Amino acid sequence: MSAILSLEDIVKVYRSHGSEVRAVDGVSFDIEEGTTFGLVGESGSGKSTIARCALRLIEPTSGTSRIDGEDIGGMPRTGLRRLRARTGMVFQNPVAALNPRMSIRDSIAEPLRTHTRLGRRAVGSRVDELLDEVGLAASHAGRLPHQLSGGQCQRVGIARALATRPRLLVLDEPTSALDVSVQAQVLNLLQQLRREHRLSYLLISHDLDVVRYMSDTAGVMRGGVLVEAGPATEVLVEPRHEYTQRLLAAMPQAPGAGPPDPPRTPTRDPNEKSLLP
Ligand SMILES: Nc1ncnc2c1ncn2[C@@H]1O[C@H](COP(=O)(O)OP(=O)(O)OP(=O)(O)O)[C@@H](O)[C@H]1O
Ligand SMILES: [Mg+2]
């Protein structure tokens, strides 16, 4: 196996109005191809900052991020454009992540128009394919974001992230804003897509059950430092570090409750165009 993402000693210091926040302080970890790395930690511990540094959406103060072996730090603009096409990001608030005045079809087409040279027809058929892959019906394509449910909007967000056939997705609290029943559907969809396309995920979530269900490996952040990392079953079920034990105890789901139940609702019935009304 080889690492799709390799972070080495990432440091990020935010400076504003003369004050400094050391948001990430020397974090290193690898994500092996085809696996999911779950990142947990209390609010403000630096999880989103790591995700943004990993894809160079913001510049780290120091440290190296390698995607598929390539150091993205010194990349020129053209290299970064290519990088954007090879990676994708799914955000917490699916409705806010979409342009309210853009149809679903145009929202999904946007990354294709920006990052590929596909012609109009090819973009159109790729959009149809993506709608189907994320379990949306063709009839959703003409709608605006406010005419869809939160879960449907997140499916659009996933379609956008997948549009350019990336190999690594960063999922920053992808289900936190959704109803519990819809969460399970979206998580199942993400699992299914990961298997089908051999994707790798960096998953950030406050919900321990979500991280346990999804992750092969996991890490625990505290105050900008990765205090513990390893196989998810060890880190999230029998943590060695006292801090992790306390964090887990303070999280909504108590530790030691055994492995989580798989989500109850199937993602997609192959005989149906869409699960959602
Ligand atoms: N643009 C910024 N300018 C200054 N400080 C920032 C900026 N973005 C984040 N921070 C600070 O950096 C620290 C880490 O923030 P970050 O958003 O990475 O945390 P997080 O673990 O994702 O939290 P949450 O779980 O609430 O999303 C926090 O103290 C935050 O206030
Ligand atoms: Mg965050």
Q: Please report, for the domain that includes residue 11, its CATH number.
A: 3.40.50.300
The answer to whether the Cα torsion of 166, 168, 170, 174 is positive or negative is: positive
Q: Based on the structure, what is the number of domains in the chain?
A: 1
- Any ligand 1 atom below 6 A from CB of 188: no
Flag whether 107 is in a domain: yes
- Any ligand 1 atom below 6 A from CB of 2: no
Residue 23 Cα to ligand 1 middle (Å): 6
Mean pLDDT of 257-262: 46
Flag whether 268 is in a domain: no
- Any ligand 1 atom below 6 A from CB of 12: no
Flag whether 273 is in a domain: no
Give me the residues near ligand 2 (ion), CB cutoff below 5 Å: 48
Helix (H) or strand (E) holding 153: helix 150-162
Residue 224 Cα to ligand 1 middle (Å): 9
Buried b (16+ CB within 10 A) or exposed e, 237-270: bebeeeebeebbeebeeebeeeebeebeeebbee
Tell whether the model's pLDDT for residue 262 goes beyond 80.
no
Flag whether 218 is in a domain: yes
Question: DSSP assignment of 231-246, as one string?
Answer: EHHHHHHS-SSHHHHH
Q: Which residue has the tokens 């109803």?
A: 179
How far is residue 272's CA from residue 164's CA, in Å, rounded to a whole number?
A: 25
Flag whether 222 is in a domain: yes
The pLDDT tens digits for 179-208 are 988 999 999 999 999 999 999 999 999 888
What per-residue confidence (pLDDT) applies to 35? 97
* Count of beta carbons in the 10 Å neighbourhood of residue 61: 16
Kindly give, in sequence order, each residue whose CB lies less than 8 Å from that of residue 37, ignoring residues fewer than 6 positions away.
Answer: 5, 29, 31, 200, 201, 202, 203, 215, 216, 217, 218, 219
Flag whether 201 is in a domain: yes
Q: What is the pTM of this model?
A: 0.88
Flag whether 227 is in a domain: yes
Q: Binning pLDDT at 50, 70 and 90, where does residue 77 land?
A: confident
Flag whether 272 is in a domain: no
> Which numbered ligand comes closest to the C-alpha of 220?
1
* Count of beta carbons in the 10 Å neighbourhood of residue 213: 22
How far is residue 46's CA from residue 43's CA, in Å, rounded to a whole number?
A: 8
Percentage of residues of the chain with pLDDT beyond 70: 90
Beta bridge partners of 8: 64
Expressed as residue numbers, the domain containing 120 is: 3-250
- Any ligand 1 atom below 6 A from CB of 79: no
Out of 19, 47, 93, mutate this one to test ligand 1's pocket (max ligand atoms within 8 Å of CB): namely 47
The pLDDT tens digits for 160-183 are 999 999 999 999 999 999 998 899
Question: Which protein residue's CA is at the shortest distance from atom 12 of ligand 1?
Answer: 23
Question: Which protein residue's CA is at the shortest distance from atom 2 of ligand 1?
Answer: 14
- Any ligand 1 atom below 6 A from CB of 231: no
- Any ligand 1 atom below 6 A from CB of 16: yes
